[in-house]
Amino acid sequence: MLAGMAELTVTISPMEDSIFTKIIKGEIPSHKVYEDDRTYAFLDIHPVQEGMVLVVPKAQIVQFMDLGDEDYAALWQAVKKVAQRLREVYPNKRRIGVQVEGLDVDHVHVKLFPIDTGEEFRAVADPHAEPDHTALAQLANKLAF
């Protein structure tokens, strides 16, 4: 160290648990639809469309391309299973929309929701709306497998 210079100590702290990690750990309640060793799927409390499910890896990773190969494969296998279940429960919808983002929560998540139109796909949820937990619980029971 140079004379007169103070020693700099840098401490790297682990990433704080995301809201999704807290949901997976059971610290925050959720309306679970599906779970396996590597993934967790639950209803969004502010859906853009009825039936919107979030599928997340249990590993807290910010960007999907940074997932390890096994977690990446498990995520997309879970997405396919949940999408097939949504198609069974919403047979009159034309498609199951899929969005991969991570802007609101720093934890990879795939959004799945039944849609008929592009407008429904591009709809924006109202994050200030009060969730109807009774209706969400009933829907989760219907979708769970």
* Residues labelled as active-site residues: 109
Both structure tokens of 114 = 């039944």
* 3-state class (DSSP) for residue 42: strand
Q: How many C-beta atoms lie closer than 10 Å to residue 97's C-beta?
A: 23
3-state helix, strand, coil in the chain (%, to 5): 30, 20, 50
Say how many C-beta atoms besides its own lie within 10 A of residue 9's C-beta: 5
Cα–Cα distance, 130 to 145 (Å, whole number)? 27
The gap from C-alpha 57 to its chain's centroid, in whole angstroms, comes to 8
